[in-house]
Amino acid sequence: MAPSRAADMIVEIAPAKINLALHVRARRADGYHEIETLFAFLRDGDVVTLVEAERDSFAMTGPFASALTGEGGNLVLSARDAFAGAFGPLPPLAITLDKRLPVASGIGGGSADAAATLRALARLRGVDWKELADIALALGSDVPACLFGEASRGGGRGERLEPVAGLTDMPVLLVNPGVGVSTAKVFAGWDRIDRGPLEESGPLTAARHGRNDLEPPALAIAPVIAEVVDLLRAQPGVTLARMSGSGATCFALFADRSDAAAARRAISTARPDWWCLESILA
């Protein structure tokens, strides 16, 4: 996730996030949910670029830019404004979001974009981005995890992070059936039954023995998710397949890159209308 800088342009990758397991433990008095999760991040994702300019501007490019057109506020701009509120006025900036990840898809797209913007602004102002966790949390529950961008156990709303080892360089395939799912509606559909914590074991073992408690309410909204998970689980070489976050994107982990590539080809051939991304865990 190392950022790059050419002349006065700052470029930050906003890696896709997946939840290898997601246990919802309780609904809190503040309206949020107490969760236990295992975050992992890919090497690929959206891209945020900023450069000093004569006036502020914000542009979106990429295959999923149109899905955000007309939405009004964007977490990239919210992150810019929150950073300026904490560290003082910024120079006029031309910011571009290259939207490569599906929208409302359970892989942290908006949260990752906000986190990448915070890291880029920290570089611009010479601030240690690791000190921005409070600003990140104010922007969204997943933004702190996306800010740090490393495999972690997450507790609380997802902001209490404990880094874990052993999940890097693992081939992964993401598949989205072209359906957007509202996170709020999926959480609202959770049955409020606490089915227990994540195992206190190695992260991959804990993930395999874990679950995603948001899958049943997501399936009620988008039944096609079950088809995606079943198709992923049927691919040779899969070590774990599950829905990520609140859906509708699902993932499969593989031990071998050739198996991941073969799975991508097979699924793209069988369902050419579905979005696929073959990558590696960072």
pLDDT tens figures, 226-243: 999 999 999 999 999 999
What's the whole-number mean pLDDT along residues 38-63?
97
Q: Does residue 282 have a pLDDT over 70? A: yes
Residues marked active site are found at 17, 142
Domain CATH number, residue 156:
3.30.230.10
State how far the Cα of 264 lies from the Cα of 258, in Å rounded to an integer. 10
pTM: 0.94
Q: What pLDDT shows up at residue 34?
A: 97
Does residue 149 sit in the same domain as residue 225? no
What amino acid is encoded at 227 in this protein?
E
pLDDT in tens, 156-195: 999 999 999 999 999 999 999 999 899 999 999 999 999 9
State how far the Cα of 214 lies from the Cα of 49, in Å rounded to an integer. 33
- Which tokens sit at 187? 């959480």
Does residue 29 sit in the same domain as residue 78? yes
Does residue 52 sit in the same domain as residue 186? no
pLDDT in tens, 25-47: 999 999 999 999 999 999 999 99
Q: Does residue 68 have a pLDDT over 50? A: yes
Structurally, the chain folds into a number of domains equal to 2
Asked if residue 61 lies in contact with residue 97, where contact means CB atoms within 8 angstroms, the answer is: yes
Domain range for 199 is 171-280
Asked if residue 222 lies in contact with residue 230, where contact means CB atoms within 8 angstroms, the answer is: no
Candidate from 11-15, 37-41, 70-74, 127-131 with smallest mean pLDDT: 70-74
Does residue 87 sit in the same domain as residue 226? no
